[in-house]
Structure 1
């Protein structure tokens, strides 16, 4: 079942969701580590993970947007929760897309303005201080927003699973 049904997500949506989630955690972790690194070599090592993972998140996000827009329909909302929760869930999902796209744009901006790409992927030289470049501010804000969105998203999923017991999480897993 590649496409979603009214009661559950299809395998394309499930795979892209969980793969994106894992890669976002890796991108955040490597990005925070790069920001805290005290020497250029360590920072470059973290960025050699961070940048390709972030590009993969971008590609998956663009794929997901096109998938939902042209090829699939999301399942119906679960019954029971108040309408404000459904609206908040939609807001969080849209915010994920906006923040991810903004993070990639600001990351590309930092790479272009700083010229750090050859140093990161060439393996020699000293990296610039990324805090000196204007895209660093929205990139940092975006990272914090992404963490907040992840906490809300995971918290809501756990609430539905363990407090409400409404099977919402099961909808976002592969069918047995």
Structure 2
């Protein structure tokens, strides 16, 4: 627990923290919507689909921002006590999550296009169809989207589990690097 009191470990920037927690909040809504909407019928099904699509559209833009931000703002170094294999796993999980957050909304959009369902974020405008109507292709793409969703759930379980394990069991500053300052987060650096 020595790292909790005085540490040279630094936290993420405020923009990186904000984008991270906003993404977490949106995924906490979008994933259950995705699980429920495919198992019900009626008007509620279409309402949930729209919300899921709108959230996916938003998550995609946040992911684009996060990648752009990360290019210009290197993340803070890992805690010095983190073994090399855990650094490699953490970097791999982060990379796979970024790839999924960028790819899944696009696959969903293409799948919607193939089914002939317009994508209208927040009902404000209509995005162009990316492919001609082809229900067989749409089914395959939305199946892929669904399986990728299960992979994301697994990656998120690893990500959250590791952060909690580091915070509550190991007692290092790994989680505090991403926490807001008012909740004990570390200063950016």
Question: Secondary structure of the equivalent of 2:69?
Answer: helix
1:169 to 175, 178, 182: 175
Q: Give the structure 2 partner of residue 24 of structure 1.
A: 27
Aligned pair 1:141/2:147, yes or no?
Answer: yes
Q: Give the structure 2 partner of residue 35 of structure 1.
A: 38
Q: TM (normalized to structure 1)?
A: 0.85
**1:59 & 1:105 partners in 2: Cα distance?**
11
1:41-60 superposed matches below 5 A: 41-60=43-62
Aligned pair 1:154/2:156, yes or no?
Answer: no
What number of residue pairs does the alignment pair up? 163
**1:118 & 1:89 partners in 2: Cα distance?**
34
C-alpha change, 1:132 and 1:118, in structure 2 (3 Å) is: closer
CA shift, 1:6, in A, is 6.2
CA shift, 1:117, in A, is 2.5
Give CA-to-partner distance per residue, 1:26-71, whole Å, 9 cap, x none: 111111111111x14121011121111110000000000000012x
Q: TM (normalized to structure 2)?
A: 0.79
**1:130 & 1:22 partners in 2: Cα distance?**
33
C-alpha change, 1:66 and 1:118, in structure 2 (3 Å) is: closer
> Which sections of structure 1, spanning at least 5 residues, go unmatched?
122-128
Q: Give the structure 2 partner of residue 84 of structure 1.
A: 85
CA shift, 1:101, in A, is 2.0
> Which sections of structure 2, spanning at least 5 residues, go unmatched?
1-7, 124-134, 183-189
Please tell me the root mean square deviation across aligned C-alpha atoms, in Å: 2.3
Q: Is the 8 A contact 1:102 1:139 kept in 2?
A: no
**2:159 & 2:138 partners in 1: Cα distance?**
33
Q: Is the 8 A contact 1:106 1:136 kept in 2?
A: yes
Q: Give the structure 2 partner of residue 66 of structure 1.
A: 68
